[in-house]
Structure 1
Amino acid sequence: MATTSEKKKLVFVTGNKNKLAEVQSIFKDVIDIDSHKVDLPELQGTSQDIAAQKCKMAADIIQGPCITEDTCLCFNAMNGLPGPYIKWFHESVGLDGLNKMLVGFDDKSGYALCTIAYCEGPGHEPVIFEGITKGNIVPARGPTYFGWDPVFQPEGFDQTYAEMPKDIKNTISHRFRALEKLKAYFLD
């Protein structure tokens, strides 16, 4: 890998400052991450399809290499829903509503899925990297400034993502696991 002064630079296409801070923290010793907010259409499909399409469009707009991300919260009792539509469910029903969606189900387990797409630039096909963290959907606990983090408690922990110190979350999260795969891709 290049020396620190020769670190690769990469644009993360996002307008979410919390996601940007996590990605910059995870990549701090390997890649300089800058952000660029691009208004992209809301797509439907699988997380992989959405991430790849968003990344290809973003690379065309910024005329260079970039990464995009699609984050899902998947309920096992609902065969993976709300999945890539979690943002809209969360905005529509709130954190309490996400829990109410599982009323009547014995299974409160789920998983957080992060799909990162990397595109070298216009005309290139994106490469996909996924990370999964298993856990449970619980009543909201902790600060509410970062999406659905207060209702997701990772397996093996007694805190939700929202309650965890960032340095712990950034070593076990779905985003961390996907970014580790992307990091390995750059280091090969």
Structure 2
Amino acid sequence: MKEIIFVTTNKGKIASAQKELTNIKVLPIEAELNEPRSDDIKEIAKQKVLQAYAIVKRPCIALDSGFFVSALNGFPRAYVNHMLDTIGIEGILKLLRDEENRECEFRSCLAYYDGEEMRFFESKSPGFISQEIRGSENESKWSDLWYLFIPKHFDKTLAEFDEIDFMEYNRVKEDSGMKKFGEWYHRNDLVSR
């Protein structure tokens, strides 16, 4: 079985990777990676995977995500962690209190680097922001935004989803960057450098 190193401190992202990369063994390495100040999640993923490679000296992946709220001119974009640490999900609800347009979108970019080749795998998940915090804690959650995010074609937040909901969501949504990476990585006979 092929292996890939995933450098992150986010246990939810590791759980998602292990679930999505069914034919690849995910080797989590817990290390804090510095995020450059940028609105560009692709550039952040690139910088993170370069740092990760410098730590592990083997092919590895890093992931960055952003959350884009239409009515807030895209805020918080790539600054999700800062937004969560300052105004939190309660602050997002306050900002949208009288707003009818509740469209939003998760965007993610997974970067792969093996010391020579760099590849990017991007995805988008459109949806809407609920009127209130809904749902419960679960091991797959990798952001408190799951309590607010209602995916397109659904009427529940991700934090309210059960296994059947997640199966349906995975069937109808765009493949994640993680899944796109897994398919590419499995197809290609890459030599460890």
Q: Normalising to structure 1: TM-score of the pair? A: 0.86
Q: Which residues of structure 1 form unaligned runs of 5+? A: 1-6
Runs of 4+ aligned structure 1 residues displaced above 4 Å come to 172-176
Is the deviation greater in 101-110 or in 8-17? 101-110
Gaps of 5+ in 2: 189-193
Count of aligned positions: 179
Write out aligned runs for 1:30-49 (5 A).
30-45=23-38, 46-49=40-43
Tell me which residue corresponds to 1:4.
Answer: none
Q: d(CA) in 2 for partners of 1:92 and 1:175? A: 31
Q: Does the aligned pair in 2 maintain the 1:112–1:174 contact within 8 Å?
A: no
Residue in 2 that maps onto 1:169: 166
Aligned-partner SS, 1:136: strand
Question: Could you tell me how far apart the structure 2 residues matched to 1:173 and 1:83 are?
Answer: 24
Summarize the alignment of residues 42-57 of structure 1 with structure 2, pairs less than 5 Å apart.
Answer: 42-45=35-38, 46-57=40-51
Identify the residue that residue 132 of structure 1 maps to in structure 2: 124
Of residues 36-45 and 149-158 in structure 1, the stretch that sits farther from structure 2 once superposed is 36-45
RMSD between aligned residues: 2.1
TM-superposed deviation, 1:24: 0.1
Match of 1:142 among 101, 115, 135: 135
User: Which amino acid is 1:95 matched to?
Assistant: I
| 1:125 Cα deviation after fit | 4.7
**For 1:56 and 1:173, how far apart are their aligned partners in 2?**
33
Counterpart of 2:191 in structure 1 is none
Distance 1:150 1:107, change over 3 A: same
Matches within 5 A, 1:84-103: 84-103=78-97
| Matching residue of 1:110 | 104
Percent identity, please: 27
